[in-house]
Amino acid sequence: MSARQLENYAFDKWVKGDGALAEIPSAITNDIVATTSSGGLDFKAMAGHARNVGGPALRKMTFPERAGMVKALGLAIMERKEELYALNNHTGATRRDGWIDIEGGAGTFLSIASKSKRELPNDTIILDGALEQISRTGTFMAQHVYTSMRGVAVHINAFNFPVWGMMEKLAPTLIAGLPAIVKPATATSYLAEAAFRIMIETGLLPKGAVQLVVGSTGDLLDHLGGQDVVSFTGSAQTAAKLKSHPTIIRESVRFVAEQDSLNASMLGPDATEDSPEFELFVKEVANEMTVKAGQKCTAIRRALVPAAMLDAAQKALSARLAKTTVGDPALDDVRMGAVVSQSQRADVRDKVATLSAEAKVVFGDPEAAEILGDNAQGGAFLSPVLLRCDDPWSAKAVHEVEAFGPVSTLMPYKNFEDAIDLCNRGGGSLVMSLFTHDPQIAREVVRNTGAYHGRIAIINRDSAKESTGHGSPLPVLVHGGPGRAGGGEEMGGVRGVKHYMQRTAVQGSPEILAGVTGVWQNGAPVEADAPHPFRYSFNELEIGKTIETAPREISLQDIEHFAEFTGDTFYAHMDEDAAAANPFFPGRVAHGYLILSFAAGLFVDPAPGPVLANYGLDELRFLKPVSPGDSIKVRLTAKSKKKRNDEYGEVRWDVNVTNQDDEVAATYELLTMNAITG
């Protein structure tokens, strides 16, 4: 790869920066592979372009439309992934490492898009929770909603995952309807720029939706305000610097931080040298030390074992690490590549020296390594380094200093309470893992360490085969953590989308709230004229379309026949004395599912038509018993709609079953699939 000047993407054009160029060396050969500069960019105007052009374009799209766009972008990355793998080795990563970054990034787009399309409404507003009744009679209500912010998201990404790190932020941001300015870490920006270019070349992104800065962000942060978001991944020191920026403080700019942390892994006190959990623990610690050459914000930095097993754990870990071949990741027999740069290697060595004041190196040499590959001898390679701290209780550095490379510290704990304390001494982490086969130990660990960790991976012989491991953030799970880890959250499926939106409590009458949310609310106007609601196609059906049925009396014979036919002879339906002794029943009562069956018989229109299928019900509640001789009637109201594809859509119906005294006997939401037309 010859040195190419990377380009910024601003105002929907590719632009080379002016002035002095920063040189980016290959982690493998130390040759210059790219240069970069953002000189000459007007950052104030870029932010304005995002807000004034990108934001309105994205907000015109519904959630399913935005999700469809994100899915297509993910597929485009997958189709051209080999172009990215061709650049991957220069970051120091093996093909396996690159799979996590490149295909993991595309998979994150696909996963978050899929969940958003399935879980979010065919709208631009998200409802948060149930309707809140404020007034006594229900004429004044409240509904929490999420709406798109009117600013720009500035993404400042780390060097270790130039593709995944970019995409795990972009997916929820775009689906939320917020434009983004992406700033990749300079050290691997050539890979981020290549992936960004693939997405631009699809032509799917609206103008102004995304921009790219390969170089310094200049005065960009000076031009942010209260509608903007800064999402950062990197060190605690850099995060602190950004958080304290005067504009971010003054304007209360939303700041999401995902920081490197001293993640711990604990071998449970129930484990023995012969247990599967011991072997799994050793395997995972070694794996986390060597994948991406230990350059993962989720890597295991502190490995905790029962004191009696410290020597055994050291021996087993050392034996496993001894099998790790280091060198040019293009070679088939290489298992670990390089750290990202010579300066990063120097930083790791400095941190190991600091740790060595409290712990001793028991495997590897931070100053020397056997390197495979003739072209790799000048690269930024390190040996895996395992340290052992015999006195973690009085130690400080092992709980505060992170060597961001293939480095971990093994330490003992005296008892279970001690293990909990040592685990939490990291001051907050993205993830901890526990290797135990005892559910009660697992419960106590979660109960006592959950406040310090964003994710807890519990792995044992039963889950190991399918476990995603300690260090794998998943798009459906939140990624972040308290304290040292930054206090932020990313991903988590639709949860991540909401980080880029504003939650608002909207108050008004049921009719007003139905108009705002597009969801019919109890107390809002209904339209009960013929024809039957089931005669309308998805496109024709309007929210609030209702049918109110005639009553039907439920007899004792109905109850006994239903009991005999279904086999449900529960005493409340069949034994008058036993039922009367139950404080919930006045005597024998109708089966709840008999009420549902009779309700369906009252409101269903049996002729073929747009209603294709009943596929379930939600929120079922039986509120008042129905006795023999009582009658029931039903009000069925179209509550909300969501298009699924070009052939059919989901209709959610509010079902209200009342007795002869207009008391509510049962409520639920019926789900049907309706043909889009005709």
| Phi then psi dihedrals of residue 195, to 5 deg | -70, -40
Burial of 631 (0-12, 13-18, 19+ CB in 10 A): middle
E strands in 27-101: 32-36
Rg (CA), the chain: 30
E strands in 6-45: 7-10, 13-16, 22-25, 32-36
Contacts of range 39-44, beta carbons closer than 8 Å, 24 or more positions apart: 39/215, 40/15, 41/8, 41/10, 41/15, 41/17, 41/213, 41/218, 42/10, 43/213, 43/217, 43/218, 43/219, 43/220, 43/222, 43/223, 44/219, 44/222, 44/223
Residue 157 DSSP class = -
- Report the distance separating Cα 90 and Cα 193, nearest Å: 14
Dump the DSSP string for 257-287: EEE---EEEEE-TT--TTSHHHHHHHHHHHH
- Report the distance separating Cα 648 and Cα 613, nearest Å: 10
The arrangement of strands across the sheet holding 229-234 comes to: 13-16, 7-10, 210-212, 180-183, 153-156, 229-234, 254-259
- Report the distance separating Cα 136 and Cα 477, nearest Å: 40
258 is known as an active-site residue: yes
Read off the tokens for 11: 């105002």
The closest of 229, 156, 219, 222 to 189, measured between CA atoms, is 156
Question: Is there a cis peptide before residue 531, judged by omega within 30 degrees of 0?
Answer: yes
- Report the distance separating Cα 186 and Cα 165, nearest Å: 13
- Report the distance separating Cα 678 and Cα 659, nearest Å: 35
Q: Are 36 and 5 in contact (CB under 8 A)?
A: yes
| Strand (E) or helix (H) holding 639 | strand 631-643
Q: Which of 284, 297, 358, 489 is catalytic?
A: 297
Please count the other Cβ atoms lying within 10 Å of the Cβ belonging to residue 507: 12
Contacts of range 93-98, beta carbons closer than 8 Å, 24 or more positions apart: 93/292, 93/293, 93/329, 93/337, 94/329, 94/334, 94/335, 94/336, 94/337, 95/329, 96/291, 97/291, 97/292, 97/293, 97/329, 97/337
SS3 label, residue 347: helix
Max intra-chain CA distance, the chain: 92
Q: Are 499 and 490 in contact (CB under 8 A)?
A: yes
Q: Which of 7, 103, 168, 258 is catalytic?
A: 258
The residues assigned a catalytic role are 258, 297
